[in-house]
Amino acid sequence: MRSYEQFVDEAFVRICRTTPEMAARMGLATLPQFADVRGKLDERSVAADLARRDLIDELFKTHRQHAMQSLTASERLTHEVFEFFLRYLPFEPWAGVAGRDFVLHHYPVRHVWGTPAETFNVLANMHPVRDASDADAFIARLTQLETVTRDLIEGLEHRDRAGLSPPRSALAIVRGELNAMLADGVDRSDLIDTFAHKLKAASVASAAQLVSDARKILATYFDGALRALVECLVKLEATAAEPLGVWRLPRGDEFYRYTLTRETSTSMAPDEIYALGEAEVARLQGELRRDVAALGHDFADLRGALGAALHVDGRKSADDETRREEIVRYYSKLLDDAARRVRPLFGIFPNARCIVRPSPRHLEARRTTTYFPASSGGEYPGALELCVLRELDKAPWSRHATAYHEAWPGHHLQLSIAQEAAHLGLFRRTFVVAGYLEGWAKYAERLPLEAGIDNDPRYELQRKTQELISASNLMLDVGIHDRRWTRDQAIAFSTERALVDRGMAEYLVDRISVTPGQTAAYMIGLNTVRGLRAKMQRRLGSQFTLPAFHDRLLGEGALPLSVLERQFEETRT
């Protein structure tokens, strides 16, 4: 008889196999269980969405047949995590059983983690080409782009009839990105360049023919389904609603509460989250006023004082290849140094490498730097995908918080420790939820200061300004999706409370408009990690050590915050 852990891993594989692109983003695609789907893309039809909902219903029913009292302590923890996973499925395009009525509420086309940009990212950066069969699988995936995109168009039209279209501003952004991609043409596509490079590195025979085939398939796609998608977006944009928040969707208030639990893994209500944001913004602005005053600046004009203290003078740097390459090299060295110097703060430490690569040019205007995990089998490393456009005018020391958050000791370290945890099953090694994921990464931003890596007071000042953005986003998220703020209201709020310029305010508002609840996870997760550390310090006194705390926090993989807090309470050692 199979164990509960075996059931969970098998169920998880079934879920991921129906969305091969998601499996690739999670670093699973090179595992044997996914060998026969490596040449497939995610299905984007409404029928596929409904079939995924039926699969979750089936698995949840089987999961509930396993009585908690019959499980081992380790299995009971897995049961709790899998229960949350099946209820809330923190991976789009999925919806858990708690949100089964909202299976079509997600926006499949959006400028943040949406189609088709993320499909292209999977093909360019997460599809390994080790031999001819991998190359054939890549060609097979390219061939499916036409059908998948046509299904996507039908799904968008279906959602529009049901009142589930994205806001007008979001449609305009995606339309602009796609037009930029079409303007660049096939010959400037990252897909062709990276495919050719991988074929050469793997010494695949008939590489020239394969590249030629890929170029022809992509050209047909650009002239066919991709242009049809742009035309669809133009039509949807003409009739789309202007309001940003999901409150305007059918049962939008219920959907928003579902997404808050899904992202934060807590039961906090919108008003509680807004109140937390108010308190944190007040605290951080107070600390920043004291910090700039200590540096000899007038804190009455906090924005101006921060600009002076951080030497932000508004001058623009040249945007050329030399400058861009310098920035990538700077980040590469920064990550190497950080990995080495934070090592004493951890008992458990991963082996996986993290590289730096620039994000595609046509996506830079509406993107920020992000992290993509390494493959489970080690076929490719983790990657810090750098939005170089946003780095051109930064002082070198102001880049550090981003590097620490995304790579060492942030996302890359945490996700790689989980991936390499031999005592955990596949599901537990792979599971992530935003509250834990982003909470750890925000916490990690300050660890280099504690390790003596970044003693420049400007770094800590810069880090606090980033934390202020996360705190104000608690209010911004609720304001947009629950309190019905307009775009102009939301932008004005961000410039006033987060102290950002209009360009960054627009980015934050546009991002939050299509990712309800996601940015709330950062500050809620950070406060949870800080609270657990403070409790452990009080309990252990002089016996407390950071390596022991970090190993305890990271050693069991990602956990919903509610489960994490209870774990710390139940094992008070």
pLDDT digits (tens, 9 = 90+) for 107-158: 999 887 788 888 998 998 889 899 999 999 999 999 999 999 999 999 999 9
Measured CA to CA in angstroms, residue 545 lies from 28, 271, 348, 441, 448 at distances of 34, 36, 13, 19, 16
| Rounded Cα–Cα distance for residues 276 and 270 (Å) | 10
| Interhelix angle 4-17/46-63, nearest 10 degrees | 180
| Rounded Cα–Cα distance for residues 432 and 411 (Å) | 11
Pairing mode, strands 382-386 and 370-372:
antiparallel
* Rg value, the chain, Cα: 23
Task: Please list, in sequence order, all residues whose beta carbon lies within 8 angstroms of the beta carbon of residue 542, skipping any fewer than 6 positions away.
Answer: none
User: Smallest Cα–Cα separation from 480: which of 517, 443, 430?
Assistant: 517
| Rounded Cα–Cα distance for residues 464 and 284 (Å) | 7
| Rounded Cα–Cα distance for residues 44 and 369 (Å) | 27
Cβ count near 531 (within 10 Å): 12
Tokens of 207: 């590489």
Q: Specify the amino acid at residue 59.
A: L
Place of tokens 């984007």: 44
H helix intervals, 421-456: 426-430, 434-444, 447-450
| Rounded Cα–Cα distance for residues 533 and 388 (Å) | 35
Looking at residue 190, its pLDDT comes to 84
| Rounded Cα–Cα distance for residues 306 and 292 (Å) | 7
Looking at residue 314, its pLDDT comes to 57
| Interhelix angle 190-201/132-161, nearest 10 degrees | 160
Task: Please list, in sequence order, all residues whose beta carbon lies within 8 angstroms of the beta carbon of residue 213, skipping any fewer than 6 positions away.
Answer: 139
| Rounded Cα–Cα distance for residues 108 and 422 (Å) | 35
Tokens of 176: 């602009």
Low-confidence stretches of the chain (pLDDT < 50) are none
Tokens of 39: 């040449």
The pTM assigned to this predicted structure is 0.94
| Rounded Cα–Cα distance for residues 495 and 99 (Å) | 34
Classify residue 62 as left (phi > 0), alpha (psi -120 to 50) or beta: alpha
- Mind listing the pLDDT tens digit for each residue in 231-290? 999 999 999 989 999 999 999 999 999 999 999 999 999 999 999 999 999 999 999 999
| Rounded Cα–Cα distance for residues 66 and 17 (Å) | 24
